[in-house]
C-alpha cells in the first residue's frame, strides 16, 4: 500500500502481531459452540462456558488471557446480563470487550447499557461478518489497553518509554522476518526554548513534535514514544530513505515554533538481521543521533554505519583500558603557558593543565575524543582528579625548584561541579602540597552554565567562597544571556577559540570579540584568549584590550620539565 509515496504497513497488522488471542464463547447449546469453533478456531484459541456461572469463573481466573467474550444472553440459570454486570464492576475485567448474541432489540439496548460493545444476530450471521466484528472489537480492546494510564505520556499522549519497549518486544516476537528501524529524534538545545519562551510554550513545542512522530509512526505502521523531555523514539518498518520522516517531523514542529532556526537531530539504526537486542538498537540510534553536532545548522539525519560501529568498538576498548592507563603511567599532564599581554612585553603568568593519554596500541588519544566518553560513562571524576592532584604536586615542585608559585587552571567536567566532596578534595591537595587555594583555578565551560543555570550559580559561588578561582571556558559557544552574565560568579572569561580563528580588522568575529571584551569590562573580569596562533591575532587582541593570551603563537602545551625551564627563564629575566 502506498500513501504520500511511502510504503505503508497494514495498520491492522499492528494488532495481529501479538499472539493467538483467546475468545471465550458462552452458550448453553453445544451445537452453537461447535459452529463458532469452526468459524473462529483457525485464528483464535477458543474457551467454552455453558452457563453464566461457568463464564464468570473463567473470566475471573483467566482474565489476562481472554481477549474477547462472545456472550449468549439466554441461558438456563442466570442470564448473560449477570456476566456483563460482574465484568463491568471489576476493574480488571471491564476492558475485556463483550459481544452479545441475541435476536431481541430491547436486549441490545440493555446490553449496551451494561457494557457490551457489539451484537451478533441469532441464527448466526455470515462467518465473515462474525470474524470482522470480533476482529474490530479486539482492536478496540488493544487500543484501550494501550490507553491505560501507565502506558501513556501525559503531555503528548504518546506511549511512555517502558510501554514502548514492551510493545516493540512483542512486535519482534511475532514479526521475526520484518526489517525494522530504531529511530531517535532529539531537539537540540530544547532547554533554551523553555528558558526563552517559558514552559507552556515548551510544552506546545513538544506536543507538535509528538504529533510529527505520531504521524510518521502511523504512516509506517510503527509506534512512537517520548523519552527524557525532548527525545522521541520511533520503531518502524525499515525505510529506504528518511525524507518523509524528516519533512513530517520538522513541518509539524514549525506549526508551533515559527522559527526555522530550530534543529532536530535524527539518529537511525536499521536492523536487517535483528542481530542485536532492542536496547542495543536504540543505543546505536542514539549513537548516530549524538554523532550529529548540537550546533548543526540544519535538521540532520544520521544512519548508524560501519564507521560508527568501529568507533564504538574503539570507545569500548578505551573504556576497558582506562584503569590500566592510570596505573601504568599512560596518562600525563602537560601545561600550556598563558601570557599577560597588558604590559609592553608579554609576561608568563600561569598555565592550563591538559590531560594526555598515550595508549599502548592506539598511540596518542585526543582528549576531545575520550573526555566526552568518560563524562558519559561517569568515570571522568577519576581522570579529572588525577589531573588536579598531579597539578598540585607540580606547582609544589616548581615552587621548590624556582622559588615562585605558578598558578595553574584545571578543567572540570560539568557533572563534577556538583560532587559533594569537591571542595574537600581540592582543599586536600592544596594542603598536602602547602599551597594556597587561589593557586588553582577551575575552568568550567559556558555550556555547563547555560545547561543548568540555577544550580550551577550556587555551586560555583560555593567554590569561590573557598578561595578557588573560576574561569568560564569556551565563552561565546553557549548562549548566555546578558542578564545571566551579570549574575554569574566568575573570575575570568576564556574566549572560545572559534572566534579567534577568524578575526581580522573590522570583521564580524572581531566585533564579537570586542563586544565580549566590553561585557568583561562591565563585569570587571579579565579576558583570556586561547587558540591564538599568529602574530596578527595576538596584536589585534592586545590592542582591543584582551588581558591574557594562550595559544600556539606563544607555546604549545609543554611537559612539566619544559614548562619548568620556561619558569626559570622568566624568573631570571625579571631579576
Ligand atoms: P579546552 O579546555 O578548550 O583546552 C584548550 C585546547 O586547545 C587544548 O586542546 C589545547 O591544546 C588546544 N590549543 C591551545 N592552543 C591552541 C592553538 O593555538 N591552536 C589550536 N588549534 N589549539 C590550541 P586539548 O589538550 O586537545 O584539549 C581538548 C579539550 O579536552 C579541552 O579543551 C578540554 O575541554 C578537554 N580537556 C583537556 N584536559 C582535560 C582534563 O584534564 N579534564 C577535562 N575535564 N577536560 C579536559
Ligand atoms: Ca580549558
Ligand atoms: Ca577552552
Evaluate whether 268 touches 284 at the Cβ level (below 8 Å). no
Query: Is 62 a domain residue?
Result: yes
Residue 549 Cα to ligand 3 middle (Å): 12
Query: Is 451 a domain residue?
Result: yes
The CA distance from 472 to 523, in Å, is 13
Q: Domain check: are 433 and 543 in the same one?
A: yes
- The pLDDT assigned to 149 comes to 45
Phi and psi for 227 in degrees, rounded to 5? -135, 140
The CA distance from 291 to 451, in Å, is 19
Residue 402 Cα to ligand 2 middle (Å): 26
Ligand 1 within 6 A of CB of 552: yes
Residue 46 Cα to ligand 1 middle (Å): 68
Burial class (CB in 10 A: 0-12, 13-18, 19+), 54: middle
Beta bridge partners of 427: none
464 CB contacts (<8 Å, ≥6 apart)? 470, 489, 491
The CA distance from 96 to 116, in Å, is 10
- The pLDDT assigned to 12 comes to 37
CATH code where residue 10 lies? 3.40.50.2300
Residue 505 Cα to ligand 2 middle (Å): 26
Tracing cell 502481531 back to the chain, one arrives at 17
Ligand 1 within 6 A of CB of 462: no
Ligand 1 within 6 A of CB of 355: yes
- The pLDDT assigned to 20 comes to 73
Helix (H) or strand (E) holding 442: strand 440-445
- The pLDDT assigned to 13 comes to 36
Ligand 1 within 6 A of CB of 489: no
Evaluate whether 84 touches 113 at the Cβ level (below 8 Å). no
Residue ending a domain, among 258, 274, 304, is 304
Q: CA separation (Å) from 449 to 195, 369, 394, 481?
A: 13, 22, 29, 11
The CA distance from 123 to 2, in Å, is 40
Residue 352 Cα to ligand 2 middle (Å): 7
- The pLDDT assigned to 260 comes to 55
Q: Which three cell numbers stand for residue 74?
A: 439466554
Q: Domain check: are 361 and 425 in the same one?
A: yes
Q: Which three cell numbers stand for residue 571?
A: 624568573
- The pLDDT assigned to 142 comes to 64
Name the residue of 411, 470, 473 whose CB sits within 8 Å of the most ligand 1 atoms, as the mutation to test its pocket. 411
At 218, is the secondary structure helix, strand, or coil?
helix
The CA distance from 266 to 302, in Å, is 6
Name the residue of 333, 335, 371 whose CB sits within 8 Å of the most ligand 1 atoms, as the mutation to test its pocket. 371
Ligand 1 within 6 A of CB of 413: yes
Query: Is 156 a domain residue?
Result: no
Ligand 1 within 6 A of CB of 473: yes
Ligand 1 within 6 A of CB of 371: yes
Q: Whose CA is nearest to atom 8 of ligand 1?
A: 354
Residue ending a domain, among 116, 150, 184, is 150
Q: Domain check: are 382 and 481 in the same one?
A: yes
Q: Whose CA is nearest to atom 43 of ligand 1?
A: 411
Q: Whose CA is nearest to atom 41 of ligand 1?
A: 355
Residue ending a domain, among 150, 176, 196, is 150
Residue 560 Cα to ligand 3 middle (Å): 20
The CA distance from 68 to 476, in Å, is 62
Helix (H) or strand (E) holding 265: strand 264-271
- Sheet containing 22-26: which strands, arranged edge to edge? 45-49, 22-26, 66-72, 98-101, 118-120
- Sheet containing 264-271: which strands, arranged edge to edge? 223-227, 231-237, 180-187, 264-271, 300-303
Q: Domain check: are 458 and 521 in the same one?
A: yes
Q: Which ligand sits closest to the CA of 443?
A: 2
Q: Domain check: are 190 and 290 in the same one?
A: yes
Q: Domain check: are 422 and 569 in the same one?
A: yes
Domain boundaries, position 38: 2-150
Name the residue of 350, 354, 445 whose CB sits within 8 Å of the most ligand 1 atoms, as the mutation to test its pocket. 354
Q: Domain check: are 362 and 497 in the same one?
A: yes
CATH code where residue 449 lies? 3.20.20.450
Residue 405 Cα to ligand 1 middle (Å): 23
CATH code where residue 193 lies? 3.30.70.270
Helix (H) or strand (E) holding 574: helix 560-574
The CA distance from 63 to 195, in Å, is 48
Which residues of the chain, if any, have pLDDT below 70?
Answer: 1-19, 140-151, 259-261, 273, 451-453, 479, 481-483
Q: Domain check: are 464 and 509 in the same one?
A: yes
Q: Domain check: are 139 and 208 in the same one?
A: no
Ligand 1 within 6 A of CB of 411: yes
Residue 250 Cα to ligand 2 middle (Å): 35
Ligand 1 within 6 A of CB of 533: yes
- The pLDDT assigned to 120 comes to 84
DSSP one-letter code for 129: H
Cis previous bond, 123, omega within 30: yes
DSSP one-letter code for 477: S
Query: Is 102 a domain residue?
Result: yes
Chain center to CA of 277: 19
The CA distance from 179 to 275, in Å, is 11
Q: Which atom of ligand 1 is nearest to the CA of 366?
A: 26
Q: Domain check: are 269 and 367 in the same one?
A: no
Q: Domain check: are 190 and 88 in the same one?
A: no
Q: Domain check: are 499 and 360 in the same one?
A: yes
Q: What share of the chain is helix, strand, coil (3-state, %, to 5)?
A: 50, 20, 30
Residue 505's region, left for phi above 0, alpha for psi from -120 to 50, else beta, is: beta
Residue 423 Cα to ligand 2 middle (Å): 20
The CA distance from 565 to 301, in Å, is 50
Q: How many domains does the structure of the chain reveal?
A: 3
Q: For residues 521-558, b (16+ Cβ closer than 10 Å) or e, as one string? A: eeeebbbbbbbbeeeebbebbbebbbbbbbbebbbebb
The CA distance from 383 to 361, in Å, is 20
Query: Is 476 a domain residue?
Result: yes
Residue 481 Cα to ligand 3 middle (Å): 19
Ligand 1 within 6 A of CB of 372: no
Amino acid at each position: 500500500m502506498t500513501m504520500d509515496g511511502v510504503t505503508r504497513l497494514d495498520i491492522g497488522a499492528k494488532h495481529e502481531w501479538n499472539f493467538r488471542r483467546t475468545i471465550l464463547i458462552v452458550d448453553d447449546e453445544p451445537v452453537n459452540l461447535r459452529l463458532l469453533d469452526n468459524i473462529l478456531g483457525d485464528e483464535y484459541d477458543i474457551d467454552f462456558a455453558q452457563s453464566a456461572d461457568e463464564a464468570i469463573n473463567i473470566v475471573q481466573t483467566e482474565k489476562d488471557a481472554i481477549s474477547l467474550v462472545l456472550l449468549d444472553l439466554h441461558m438456563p440459570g442466570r442470564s448473560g446480563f449477570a456476566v456483563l454486570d460482574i465484568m463491568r464492576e471489576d476493574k480488571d475485567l471491564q476492558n475485556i470487550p463483550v459481544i452479545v448474541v441475541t435476536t431481541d432489540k430491547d436486549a441490545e439496548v440493555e446490553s449496551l447499557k451494561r457494557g457490551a460493545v457489539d451484537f451478533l444476530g441469532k441464527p448466526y450471521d455470515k462467518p465473515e461478518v462474525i470474524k470482522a466484528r470480533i476482529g474490530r472489537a479486539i482492536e478496540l480492546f488493544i487500543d484501550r489497553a494501550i490507553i491505560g494510564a501507565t502506558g501513556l505520556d501525559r503531555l503528548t499522549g504518546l506511549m511512555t518509554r517502558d510501554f514502548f519497549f514492551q510493545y516493540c518486544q512483542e512486535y519482534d516476537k511475532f514479526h521475526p522476518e520484518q526489517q525494522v528501524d530504531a529511530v531517535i529524534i532529539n531537539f537540540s538545545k530544547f532547554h533554551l526554548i523553555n528558558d526563552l519562551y517559558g514552559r507552556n510554550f515548551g510544552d506546545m513545542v513538544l506536543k507538535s513534535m509528538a504529533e510529527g512522530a505520531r504521524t510518521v509512526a502511523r504512516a509506517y505502521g510503527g509506534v512512537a514514544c517520548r523519552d527524557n523531555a525532548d527525545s522521541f523514539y520511533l520503531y518502524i518498518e525499515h525505510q529506504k530513505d528518511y525524507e518523509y520522516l524528516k519533512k513530517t517531523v520538522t513541518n509539524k514542529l514549525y506549526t508551533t515554533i515559527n522559527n526555522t532556526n530550530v534543529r532536530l537531530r535524527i539518529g537511525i539504526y536499521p536492523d536487517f538481521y535483528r542481530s542485536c537486542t532492542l536496547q542495543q538498537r536504540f543505543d546505536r540510534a542514539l549513537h548516530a543521533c549524538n554523532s550529529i553536532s548540537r550546533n548543526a545548522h540544519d535538521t540532520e539525519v544520521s544512519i548508524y554505519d560501519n564507521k560508527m560501529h568501529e568507533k564504538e568498538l574503539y570507545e569500548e576498548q578505551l573504556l576497558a583500558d582506562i584503569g590500566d592507563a592510570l596505573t601504568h603511567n599512560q596518562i600525563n599532564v602537560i601545561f600550556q603557558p598563558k601570557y599577560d599581554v597588558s604590559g609592553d612585553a608579554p609576561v608568563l603568568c600561569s598555565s592550563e593543565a591538559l590531560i594526555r593519554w598515550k595508549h599502548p596500541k592506539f598511540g596518542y588519544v585526543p582528549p576531545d575524543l575520550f573526555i566526552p566518553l568518560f563524562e558519559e560513562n561517569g568515570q571522568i571524576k577519576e581522570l579529572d582528579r588525577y589531573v588536579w592532584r598531579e597539578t598540585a604536586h607540580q606547582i609544589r615542585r616548581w615552587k621548590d625548584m624556582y622559588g615562585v608559585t605558578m598558578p595553574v587552571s584545571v578543567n572540570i567536567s560539568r557533572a563534577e561541579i556538583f560532587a559533594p566532596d569537591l571542595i574537600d578534595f581540592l582543599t586536600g591537595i592544596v594542603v598536602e602540597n602547602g599551597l594556597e587555594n587561589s593557586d588553582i583555578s577551575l575552568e568550567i565551560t559556558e555550556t555547563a552554565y547555560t545547561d543548568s543555570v540555577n544550580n550551577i550559580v550556587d555551586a560555583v559561588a560555593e567554590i569561590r567562597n573557598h578561595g578557588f578561582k573560576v574561569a568560564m571556558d569556551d565563552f561565546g559557544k553557549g548562549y548566555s544571556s546578558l542578564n545571566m552574565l551579570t549574575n554569574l560568579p566568575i573570575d575570568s572569561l576564556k574566549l572560545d577559540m572559534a572566534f579567534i580563528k577568524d578575526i581580522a580588522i573590522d570583521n564580524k568575529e572581531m566585533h564579537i570579540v570586542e563586544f565580549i571584551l566590553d561585557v568583561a569590562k562591565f563585569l570587571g573580569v579579565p579576558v583570556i584568549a586561547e587558540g591564538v596562533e599568529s602574530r596578527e591575532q595576538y596584536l589585534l587582541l592586545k590592542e582591543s584590550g584582551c588581558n591574557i593570551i594562550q595559544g600556539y603563537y606563544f607555546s604549545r602545551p609543554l611537559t612539566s620539565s619544559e614548562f619548568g625551564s620556561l619558569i626559570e627563564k622568566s624568573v631570571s629575566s625579571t631579576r
